[in-house]
Amino acid sequence: MRIGLLTYFWEDNPGEFFQALASLQALRRVFPDSTVDIPDVRHWDQTGSGLSRRYWLTCPWRNLALRQRRRRYIQARNHDLSIAGPKTVTHDPVAAVREIQTRAYDLLVVGSDTTLYLWGDDRVQADLPPLYWLADLPKTPRVALSSCSHTNRYDKLNPVQREIMTRALKAFSFLAVRDPLTARLLESLGPPNGVPVRISPDPTFSYNVDPAPAQAAMARRRMGRKKPVCGLTLPYFTPFTKELARLLAGHFEIADLTGHYKGCTPVLEIGPYEWSGIFSQFDLHVTTSFHESIFCLKQGVPVFTVEAVPFRFDTESGKSKAYFLHEEFGLLESNYFNPHVNQQTPEEVCRMILERWESFDSQSAVKHARELGQRYMDIVLQMRRTVAGSLGLRD
């Protein structure tokens, strides 16, 4: 049997890489006699850094570091992600689905990440949901496994989108989504009779981190460690993030994973396997990233997540995938910040981080992360039992 995992995988984004890898590993464990691969079908291609040519020319060190990082990601994808060509890039989800159909999969799994998100730009054709909804794909069994619609809401969809997405949803025999916002969207669209919408942990909770690559990467840094080391990922360079980074640098030695901020040690060239364990080398981490928050919690590292820009959360409810993650760990009031909703200043956020990071319960975080990894695997097993009959498998 051949299983196709439909997910993001092609950009140099560590969260994107590891949710794809962890999903592949889980499917192979649950379907040991099957071939599992990722069809190389995309609705946009690698976008690059978005920096101007002038910036590249005036920042040769950054250019070199990002080239090194890109090489490491290409090697990791080629070696571990089982990407099945030929490569197809199209903004037209109908054409993408037609291409997937030619590959004759026995089961299609719409994997983690924001695969159900309706991009509001030119990445898909107007009014059409992206290819992962698999609209008008006949016959092939399909399931959703820890998928996410990001900030999409039913009341924001137009009639054409609602009709297409409702019809597409009826063909799914199993629905597991990553957060309550996505669950609410699918329930409003109307799942098939008898198919519940489950909330699933992110697959990266089931991934086992190898600390050795990160230890080697930090050894090359030769950081003085006269102060505690704070990892920093604030890629949206705004007056708020600039001031927060400056304030943190007064109290910590900063390892800057974005390379934006003065007075910080840039950590730019690391590949995915160095990234996965880098947080264990920090005394705390401040980030906007959902997956960085997960990998910190998995390794018992105090993490403080900042919603740095409004598109990362639902502006009406103030909730996001990071919001629900911190709620799950009981850290919503202490380690999660939304300065847009709560009108917090950089000074207030920095003060609260200083007050709270040393009291973080590392052992409880690691234990809970391990439990979520097992919960994810239990859901994958439930999915196998659901599709076993239609695929002729022994349960």
SS3 191: coil
**Best CATH choice for the domain 2-205+373-391 from the list 3.30.110, 1.20.120, 3.40.50, 3.30.70:** 3.40.50
Q: What is the pLDDT of residue 126?
A: 86
User: E strand or H helix at 363, and its extent?
Assistant: helix 362-391
Segments of the chain with pLDDT less than 50: 48-52, 55
| d(C-alpha 270, C-alpha 288), whole Å | 18
Q: For residue 86, is the peptide bond before it cis, meaning its omega torsion is within 30 degrees of 0?
A: yes
Report domain 210-298+303-359's class.
alpha beta
For the chain, the 3-state helix, strand and coil shares in percent, each to the nearest 5, are 45, 15, 40
Residue type, 262: K
Is the sign of the CA dihedral 391, 371, 19, 217 positive or negative? Answer: negative
Angle between helices 362-391 and 290-298 (to 10 degrees): 110
Q: What is the pLDDT of residue 395?
A: 67
Q: What is the pLDDT of residue 61?
A: 74
Q: What is the pLDDT of residue 49?
A: 46
| d(C-alpha 3, C-alpha 381), whole Å | 15
Q: What is the pLDDT of residue 321?
A: 95
Model pTM above 0.75: yes
CATH 3.40.50 residue spans of the chain:
2-205+373-391, 210-298+303-359
